[in-house]
Amino acid sequence: MTDSTSNSEMYEEGKLAPDTDGLRGHQVIQSYLRSLDNSPGVYRMLGSAGDVLYVGKARSLKKRVSNYAKMSGHTARIGRMISATASMMFLTTRTETEALLLEQNLIKQLKPKYNVLLRDDKSFPNIVLTKEHDFPMIKKHRGRRSETGSYFGPFASAGAVNRTLNQLQKIFLLRNCTDSMFSTRTRPCLQYQIARCSGPCVGHISKQDYAQSVADAESFLKGKTTAIQEKLAAEMLQASEAMEFERAASLRDRIRALTHVQSTQGVNPQFVSEADVIALHMDGGQACVQVFFIRAHQNWGNRAYFPNTGTGADAPEILEAFIGQFYSTKQPPKQVLLSQNIENIDLVQQLLSDKLGKKVEVLVPLRGEKVELVANAMRNAKESLARRMAESATQAKLLKGLADAFDLKAPPSRVEIYDNSHIQGAHAVGAMVVAGKEGFEKSFYRKFNIKGTDITPGDDFGMMKEVLNRRFKRLLKEDPNRETNLWPDLLLIDGGAGQISAVAEILQELGVNDVPFIGVAKGEDRDAGKEEFHRPNRKVFALRRNDPVLYFIQRLRDEAHRFAIGTHRAKRAKAFTSTPLDEVAGVGAKRKKALLTHFGSAKAVSRAGLQDLCAVEGVSDALANIIYDFFHDKG
């Protein structure tokens, strides 16, 4: 972005903004034109409460804003957006590519009502072959590529990675144990016994032979499967002729595993070595984008996305916005194959090329194998959207049934379900899961580490009070006017009369009197199907045993219970592995590992002298003093 502050930038700081009091829509947009120039940049359209309605980018801010100032020629969606606009904000950039990048970042951050928004932005797993050890390991990796090694991916899901790793271990017999476990082995582990590892930890394979297996695995992951298959077949024939029947049988099993991997990968293109295939299908105002990952001539899985369409954007806008947001946190491939054209294809191509560091082709294929790949992705997009719409219809029916069963004014759009988990008060956590029109919304799940020092261990009522108090205090602080969709329409609490009294007390203290809440208590014999429902100042009641709404509530409660238990177990496991070294400033995971490896335990570290601490790799004299003082200057 430019260093100098232009007039358009000054608007964002509120210094040169025109007087827009009382103006709305076209009039307020018109008032900005005289101070704008033809610089590229990003603009924001704001509602009367300061909420961001839309974020857009422009090659020329003045020309783009002048289009919005016109009284006619807009789609119904843009017309509604213009009518709701009470003010605007601007930020100039050096290039239109920078504007596109900034636009997508702001959309993800601000989530404007009229923008297309990618709701699921999880990272993808990869396979990594480590390179810092004489006997490299093969494993799943997710996140930043900080470890030295060869990375292969992305894979569409953890399941796809796990299946591939499972087969690769059968074929190439590479280890998957950690370096510390490898260094302490004195006899082969179970992986060796079931023919999933060649046993390098105990010398059952030479360094040279193991390196060859690593090279073969890399070749396979690069798509050179035919040569590997021929090599294994030749080795099997040689072993058979030498009457080494056990080795021949092992090689036969590895060839079968290799064939299985190839067959389960589905579409394996012959002429497309590296590409993402992206197809968009729309129906009934909803959209599905299907992405297939082609790497090394192999299909490494696919994933369906259902972006928010910005209250009715057209297909090219949805597809272009999806690409920008999708690759904002992911490395693009050499080719991106699209099901249809987008408006700024050259600009998007430049953005992806800049991110990859070399040319990326973005194209809509017209013939050959690439067309078949896009057609396959489109077919999957249609099927995925049809399933999604069917599930949404069922969910809508269940939410209406929930409203009817509990006398709610309308079917809830957001249901929050709460549960606690602990063992005799230890490692206590609260959990909140969210369900809505599209099922469980996992991006809104929240965990609460119970912090109250005045809570008696095991006091479920006190824990629930703390969780609800923290949840609604934050809501009141961040969205007091309830302008977002973060306020619940219904609370489901795992518990009976005691939990309901605790919730009522907290909500009354905070002045939240219009959010209904229900306690779901296990009934007679704690049997599923006999649940009782508690509401403030009303009789306890139950639903009939075969009521679909009852099954729905059970699913909601069970999901909250699953999330609470998982969070509790993670907290407990972390506590088991924590040491006093975690509290020492300057000691991160790497230095902690080095200290524990060198001394054997945290207790031994605490007893070590300065000279001994300095002898540990990665520990400087200054850090050695910090560690020594931490353990010896506490009184």
- SS3 for 490-546 is EEEEECCHHHHHHHHHHHHHHCCCCCCEEEEECCHHHCCCCCEEECCCCCCECCCCC
Q: Residue 459's pLDDT is what?
A: 73
pLDDT score, position 406: 92
Burial 147-159 (b: 16+ CB within 10 A, else e): eebbebbbbbbee
CB under 8 Å to 38, separation ≥6 — which residues? 60, 61, 62, 63
Whether pLDDT at 51 is above 90: no
Q: Which two tokens stand for residue 11?
A: 């608007």
Q: Looking at residue 170, what is its pLDDT?
A: 80
What pLDDT was estimated at residue 58?
A: 93
Residue 451 is predicted with a pLDDT of 77
Q: For residues 502 and 229, what is the distance between their CA atoms, to the nearest angstrom?
A: 66
Please tell me the distance from the alpha carbon of residue 519 to that of residue 532, in angstroms, as a whole number: 8
Tokens matching residue 246: 């056990």
Q: Over the chain, what is the mean pLDDT?
A: 85
For 256, 289, 300, 606, the CA distances from 489, given in Å and listed in that order, are: 55, 30, 41, 53
What is the pLDDT, as a whole number, of residue 258?
66
Average pLDDT over residues 255-275: 70
Q: Which residue has the higher pLDDT, 156 or 277?
A: 277
Task: Average the pLDDT over each of 110-124, 238-252, 307-321, 333-347 and give the range with the smallest value.
Answer: 238-252
* pTM for the full predicted model: 0.73
Of 3.30.360.10, 2.60.40.10, 1.10.150.20, 3.30.1490.70, the CATH number of 580-632 is 1.10.150.20
Predicted pLDDT of residue 90: 94
Tell me: the pLDDT tens digits for 536-574?
Answer: 888 888 888 888 999 999 999 999 999 988 877 777 666
Q: Is the pLDDT of residue 635 over 50?
A: no
pLDDT at site 319: 96
3-state secondary structure of 139: strand
For residue 278, the model assigns a pLDDT of 97
Token pair for 29: 């947009």
CB 322 within 8 A of CB 306: no
Q: Which residue has the higher pLDDT, 634 or 186?
A: 186
pLDDT, position 584: 79
pLDDT score recorded for residue 85: 93
Q: Is the C-alpha dihedral spanning 456, 457, 458, 462 positive or negative? A: positive
User: How much is the pLDDT for 408?
Assistant: 92
- Does residue 9 register a pLDDT over 60? no
Mean pLDDT of 102-108: 91
Q: How many residues comprise the chain?
A: 635
Structural contact between residues 359 and 398, judged by C-beta atoms closer than 8 angstroms: no
Taking the C-alpha atoms of residue 187 and residue 191, their distance in angstroms, rounded to an integer, is 11
Same fold, 274-386 and 414-574: yes
**354 vs 438: which has the higher pLDDT:** 354
* Mean pLDDT of the 168-197 span: 86
Q: Taking 70 as the threshold, does the pLDDT of residue 260 lie above it?
A: no
User: Exposure of 504 by Cβ count < 10 A (0-12 exposed, 13-18 middle, 19+ buried)?
Assistant: middle
In this predicted structure, the answer to whether residue 261 has a pLDDT above a threshold of 70 is no
Q: CA-CA distances (angstroms) from residue 155 to 126, 128, 160, 531, 624? A: 6, 12, 6, 42, 42
pLDDT one-digit tens code per residue, 82-102: 999 999 999 999 999 999 999
Write the burial class of residue 480 (CB in 10 Å: 0-12 exposed, 13-18 middle, 19+ buried). exposed
Asked whether the beta carbons of 339 and 362 are under 8 A apart, the reply is: no
Whether the predicted pLDDT of 592 surpasses 60: yes
Q: Greater confidence, 463 or 60?
A: 60
In whole angstroms, how far apart are CA 19 and each of 28, 53, 568, 577?
Answer: 9, 20, 54, 60
Higher pLDDT, 430 or 375: 375
Q: What is the DSSP letter of 456?
A: P
Contacts of 561 (CB under 8 A, 6+ apart): 419, 421, 494
- How many whole angstroms separate alpha carbon 596 and alpha carbon 44? 53
> Do 184 and 202 form a contact (C-beta atoms < 8 A)?
no
Lowest mean pLDDT among 143-152, 281-290, 506-515, 564-573: 564-573
> Mean pLDDT, to the nearest integer, of 70-76?
88
Q: How confident is the model at residue 166 (pLDDT cuts 50, 70, 90)?
A: confident
Q: Please give the Cα distance from 197 to 182 (Å, whole number).
A: 12
Q: Architecture of domain 414-574 in CATH?
A: 2-Layer Sandwich (3.30)
| CB-neighbour burial class of residue 477 (10 A; exposed 0-12, middle 13-18, buried 19+) | exposed
Tell me: pLDDT of 624 over 90.
Answer: no
Instruction: Return the CA Rg of the chain.
Output: 30
Residue 317 confidence (pLDDT) above 60: yes
pLDDT of residue 533: 92
**Which residues, at least 6 apart from 336, have a Cβ–Cβ distance to it below 8 Å?**
275, 276, 278, 323, 352, 360, 361, 362, 363
Q: Which of 43-57, 184-198, 249-263, 275-289 comes out lowest in average pLDDT?
A: 249-263
Can you give the pLDDT at residue 340? 95
Closest residue by Cα to residue 53 from 117, 116, 112, 118: 112
Residue 405's beta-bridge partner residues?
none
Task: Return the number of other C-beta atoms located less than 10 Å from residue 497's C-beta.
Answer: 13
Which of 43-47, 155-159, 437-441: highest mean pLDDT? 43-47
- For position 370, what pLDDT does the model report? 94
Q: Edge-to-edge, what's the strand order for the sheet holding 41-46?
A: 52-58, 41-46, 87-92
CATH of domain 7-110: 3.40.1440.10
133-154 tens-digit pLDDT: 889 999 998 887 888 888 988 8
Q: At what angle do helices 548-577 and 369-405 cross, to 10 degrees?
A: 110
At 425, list the tokens.
């008060």
Taking residues 513-520, what's their average pLDDT? Answer: 92
Average pLDDT over residues 303-316: 91
Mean pLDDT of 219-226: 75
Per CATH, domain 274-386 is 3.30.420.340: yes
Which residues, other chains included, contact 599 with Cβ-Cβ below 8 Å and sequence gap of 6+? Answer: 605, 608, 612, 616
* Of the listed ranges 167-176, 252-261, 387-396, 609-618, the one predicted with least confidence: 252-261
Does residue 18 have a pLDDT over 70? no
From residue 212, alpha-carbon distances to 126, 207, 557, 563, 622 in Å are: 22, 9, 52, 44, 44
Q: At a CB cut-off of 8 Å and minimum separation 6, what does 502 contact?
A: 461, 462, 464, 465, 468
Give the residue among 512, 539, 519, 528 at the shortest CA–CA distance from 419. 519
223 secondary structure, DSSP code:
T
The answer to whether the beta carbons of residues 52 and 84 sit under 8 Å apart is no
Q: Which of 490, 593, 471 is nearest to 549 (CA)?
A: 490
User: What pLDDT, on a 0 to 100 scale, did the predictor assign at position 65?
Assistant: 93
Reported for 408-412, long-range contacts at CB under 8 A and 24+ positions apart, including other chains, are 408/489, 408/490, 408/516, 410/489, 412/436, 412/488, 412/489, 412/490
Q: Where exactly are the structural domains of the chain?
A: 7-110, 126-264, 274-386, 414-574, 580-632
Q: Are 574 and 589 in contact (CB under 8 A)?
A: no
The b/e string for 592-621 (b: 16+ C-beta within 10 A; e otherwise) is: beebbebbeebeebbebeeebbbebeebee
Quick one: three-class SS letters along 251-307?
A: HHHHHHHHHHHHHHCCCCCCCCCEEEEEEEEEECCEEEEEEEEEECCEEEEEEEECC
Instruction: Reduce the secondary structure of 578-634 to three states and give it as a string.
Output: CCHHHHCCCCCHHHHHHHHHHHCCHHHHHHCCHHHHHCCCCCCHHHHHHHHHHHHCC
